A and B are shown apart, each in its own frame.
Chain A
Amino acid sequence: MSDTPRSPLYFAWRRFADNKAALVAGAILLLIILMAIFAPLIAKTGYADQKFLTQAYAFPQAEFWFGVDDLGRDFFTRIVYGARVSLTIGFTAAAFSLVIGIPLGAIAGYYGGRADWCVMRLIELFSVVPPLLAAMLLGALTNGGFLTIVLIAALFGWVQVCLLVRAQVKAIAQKEFVRAAQALGATPGYIIRRHLIPNAISPIIVGFVLAIPLAMMLEASLSFLGIGVPPPTPSWGQMINVGMNFMYFYWHLAVFPTAALAITVLATTLFGDGLRDALDPTLKGR
């Protein structure tokens, strides 16, 4: 046994590396992210270019890997650009979830009592209204669009982050070093910022990663219903909706977006699960 001290990060990495499914999922996710970033280099046309109108509905072949869609656009290009939409919405919505969830969770966990009661009632409110129904209503109110979907997803994504942060803060707020800070006259705001939130970094990361697939699913669901990302911006949910009409004749229009969405959501979830198990072994299996 060596005596060199190992950082907690090292052990977290060791636990993560032991989880083969999470490792593979992380690699796939990375690949999808790279694909989204370098979409203009991978795709041969713009995502809305109707360059192949005469070959509309063409099946997958050497020239068009995923075929051509009903409006004469290269379907591979559409799928690749769809990753941009899906990932951007997933990550920004998760970031907004943190913006709402961290302060509320920290306040509820630190102060307890009445503040906690209020936050928990708020969470209850969000847990009894089905997100999809509220999202549909909000979507109709604001006419859909990119930012709206991000905000709607964040509005329902913060709950999990908030609960995770609240539990962690509640546990740490009783520790001696927090007592010491209080005794030294630190203000609650300072304690929360300086001591509690940095110590809740694991649940925050976990909450962030797990909020991503939820947001991506919400976007796909709304776009599938026609109140999400408006065309011609490519969204996998929207493509599935269109593909559904042609599935008996042109299977590729339904199969590829379905597979793309399924693989991306699955990879993100497995990666998040693995991260959770690695960063916080006590939460394992939840």
Chain B
Amino acid sequence: MIRYILGRLASILLTFTVVSVIVFLMMHAVPGGPFDGNDMPVNDAVKAKLNASLGLDQPLYVQYFKYMWGVLHFDFGIPFQSPGETVLDLLARAWPPSLILGGAGVLIGAPLGILLGMAAALRRNTWIDYLASAFATLGLTIPVFVISMALIMVFAVWLNWLPASGWGKPNAWVLPIIAYAAIPMATYARYTRSAMLDVLNKPFVTVLRAKGLSERRIIFQHVLRNAALPMVTVFLPMFIGTATGSIFVEAMFRVPGLGAYFVSSIELRDYSLEMALILMITMMFCLAYLISDIIYALLNPRIRFGERK
């Protein structure tokens, strides 16, 4: 187990390094620099000075190693678009709204999805199953900004029940949370349905029924426990996936969160912030997959690491 984890960590380190090099090169290959914007033109001498003060005049590999050295010390540099703070300050300010909304979305969507999937599996090929499957397919196939758009049109524009945007009052949070909840709900509904159908067809369930166990105990004590395994593994990656979902949800609902910075950092050539965002998301995905795999192994003794098949 320890050997397996160490191997995975090494592999993550490799992935992380490759991603950082590629992203760094791509980022700097985009034409233009942070001070080439049109709204505040600066003359060439000033630009050269600014670039020099930020180390942007040095060769790329020097800049890369300097930045990565900083990253190792949790120093992600200064965002050019708001030079009064560090990248970490900016993240500490912008991430909480995204986390609250995204987290609430996942925490509401996942249980709903599990219930929906259970209902679909237990009432297979009835209208409940079809309705649940339709919901799941809709949630997974329709881009989140289309869902947001539909929510705004129906609940804010036509029915006028909830505000379409804003951050101040909690009732403005309802629609974005529903938008965030769509993907977890759909994913869980699909997973739960197929996992439960898998388990329900196993011989041991027939044995339990033959022994005269009540259907309720069969479902909750045996089927659900066995079906829960694959459901555990998708949770963490899905939670982190809300970070990129925030690009659209927050643009639609005008939430002052992380989402807008993904776009603006690329548009404004805000190298430090751009690098920090991509590296952090990549790292979190890597770790989320690793942790999910470990949890899976802990919950499922049938999986043993390190043994060759």
Least CB separation from A248: chain B residue: B157
| B19 adjacent to A125 (CB under 8 Å) | yes
| A270 adjacent to B143 (CB under 8 Å) | no
In the bound complex, how far is the Cα of B146 from the Cα of A261, in angstroms?
A: 8
| Other-chain residue from A130, A140, A285 in contact with B193 (beta carbon distance below 8 A) | A285
| Interfacial chain B residues near A136, Cβ < 8 Å | 262-263, 266
| A130 adjacent to B14 (CB under 8 Å) | no
For window 103-160 of A, CB contacts with B under 8 Å fall at 121, 124-125, 127-130, 132-133, 136-138, 140-141
Least CB separation from A270: chain B residue: B137
With A130-B281, A213-B141, A251-B157 in contact, is A258–B247 under 8 Å at CB? no
B27 is an interface residue with CB less than 8 A from chain A: yes
| Other-chain residue from A128, A137, A255 in contact with B27 (beta carbon distance below 8 A) | A137
In the bound complex, how far is the Cα of B252 from the Cα of A243, in angstroms?
A: 12
| A129 adjacent to B278 (CB under 8 Å) | yes
Least CB separation from B134: chain A residue: A21
| A244 adjacent to B143 (CB under 8 Å) | no
Least CB separation from A264: chain B residue: B141
With A128-B15, A258-B150 in contact, is A133–B281 under 8 Å at CB? yes
Which candidate, A28-36, A58-66, A69-77, A219-227, is the interface stretch facing chain B? A219-227
| B30 adjacent to A269 (CB under 8 Å) | no
| Interfacial chain A residues near B244, Cβ < 8 Å | 130, 132-133
In the bound complex, how far is the Cα of B130 from the Cα of A270, in angstroms?
A: 13
| A128 adjacent to B157 (CB under 8 Å) | no
Give the A-B contact count at a CB cut-off of 8 A: 109
Which candidate, B46-54, B66-74, B79-87, B282-290, is the interface stretch facing chain A? B282-290
Total count of chain A residues near the partner, CB < 8 A = 39
Minimum distance in angstroms from B224 CB to a CB of chain A: 17
For window 16-45 of B, CB contacts with A under 8 Å fall at 18-19, 23, 26-27, 29-30
| Interfacial chain A residues near B11, Cβ < 8 Å | 121, 124
A175 is an interface residue with CB less than 8 A from chain B: no
| Other-chain residue from A130, A137, A285 in contact with B197 (beta carbon distance below 8 A) | A285
Chain A: residues with CB nearer than 8 A to chain B? Answer: 121, 124-125, 127-130, 132-133, 136-138, 140-141, 213, 217, 220-221, 224-225, 237, 240, 243-244, 247-248, 251, 254-255, 258, 261-262, 265-266, 269-270, 273, 285-286
Chain B: residues with CB nearer than 8 A to chain A? Answer: 11, 14-15, 18-19, 23, 26-27, 29-30, 137-138, 140-143, 145-146, 149-150, 152-153, 157, 193-194, 197-198, 241, 243-244, 247-248, 251-252, 262-263, 266-267, 274, 277-278, 281-282, 285-286, 289
